[in-house]
Chains A and B, each alone.
Chain A
């Protein structure tokens, strides 16, 4: 009965590869987000989607492309991975203020 789930939990890959992270929420929320937490633990918004439409894109390189096939899913595809993309990526959802976070995906680019 996990509210916000992400797969995979860990992702180790080589520079230049393309990878995807999946996110699903079963809370019936309209809004979903992707956040990046860097090595210094600083958490920053990347994207926000409302009812499958992109609402916010916070100066993220266009190598990052979110896709929302339906209201319950928001996937993150990353092309041509770079060393600096190594971080923990969190998905979240909200309705009416409080945000609920997934467990995170730790991405390591070698």
Chain B
């Protein structure tokens, strides 16, 4: 059974720092991996999706990498801002088509001014 682990559970940094969030998964036979952002009391927003054949995806100050063989992904946030404060969730999809996502428990990020 797929298990997704995210480290650290919480992270507090001053504004402007570059930071890395980690995600690991136990079964490397994944179809894709997604990073989401969840703001308090809100739904999830998809940030980046990496297909199993890809190594990384970039969107603005966000860069996500995937090492499928070792079961790891990282989300790199450059020049962090207070508006980046949220919970970041990693999720893997194991089959194509109708498969569902298995989520980690998230990393709660606080960026202070």
Could you list which residues of chain A lie within 8 angstroms of chain B, going by C-beta atoms? 4, 31, 33, 40-45, 48, 50, 55-56, 58, 90, 92, 97-104
Contact = CB atoms under 8 A, between A and B. Distances in A.
On chain B, which size bracket covers the interface? 20 to 34
A3 to B, nearest CB: 10
A43 to B, nearest CB: 4
Given A31-B98, A97-B93, A102 B43 contact: yes
Interface stretch (B19-27, B65-73, B74-82, B101-109): B101-109
Interface of B is mostly: strand
Contacts of A101: 36, 43-46
Contacts of B105: 40-42
A88 to B, nearest CB: 9
A90 B49 CA distance: 20
A45 B101 contact: yes
B32 interface: yes
B100 A48 contact: yes
Interface of B: 31-32, 34, 36, 41-46, 49, 51, 87, 89, 91, 93, 98-103, 105-106
Nearest to A102: B43
B32 to A, nearest CB: 5
Contacts of A99: 34, 46, 101
A29 to B, nearest CB: 12
Nearest to B106: A41
A104 B32 contact: no
